[in-house]
Amino acid sequence: MDRGLIVVEETPAHADLLREAEEHARGADASLTILTFATERDVGEGVEKFEALGGVEGVTYDDEDAFIEAAEDALADYVAQTLGDTDVSYDVVVEVIDGGYGTATLAAADEYDADHLFVTGRRRSPTGKAIFGDWVQRVLLGFDEFVTVQTREDAE
């Protein structure tokens, strides 16, 4: 592994996966890109909150870039809290998507030149996957390198 990509949210299961990815990266002397997704709806709601906050503080937070910057700062804080003092090199990234987590994950893997993906997934029956789809399954089938999937009841 030269560069790992981990897709996270701020949950205990994702924290466990983040620590696992850090162990892999340390052992391989590799770097990580730590990614979280925000939907267009998340951005709209976030901008509204920033606008309200800006009115109180007398500062303007009324654009998508400010939302993404704040989200990246929050993600960096989460990663620092989770990993503590680590010697693994990593970048944090927030990407805005309009759906399609599997497709977005594969595109990010290509964009950040990842050769190992780390994701969490739900335990589902084969019927559930067939009916509802599963973005993790799309990643497994669409990525030609290594994929680590954490499947726990509390993964999401």
Encode pLDDT of 73-117 as tens digits.
889 999 999 999 999 999 999 988 887 889 999 999 999 999 999
Lowest mean pLDDT among 58-67, 105-114, 137-146: 58-67
Homologous superfamily of 3-151 = HUPs (3.40.50.620)
* Residue scoring higher pLDDT (117 or 59): 117
For position 49, what pLDDT does the model report?
55
Domain definitions of the chain by residue range: 3-151
Question: Does 46 score more than 50 pLDDT?
Answer: yes
Indicate the pTM of the whole model.
0.81
Placement of tokens 């973005």 in the chain: 135
User: Which of 101, 126, 81 minimizes the C-alpha distance to 35?
Assistant: 101
Question: Does 58 score more than 50 pLDDT?
Answer: no
Contact (Cβ atoms closer than 8 angstroms) between residue 148 and residue 113: no
Strands 31-39 and 90-97: parallel
What percent helix, strand, coil does the chain show, rounded to 5?
50, 20, 25
CA-CA distance, 42 to 50, in Å (whole number)? 12
Exposure string of 60-95, with b = 16+ CB inside 10 Å and e = fewer, is ebeeeebbbebbbeebeebbeebbeeeebebebbbb
For position 132, what pLDDT does the model report?
41
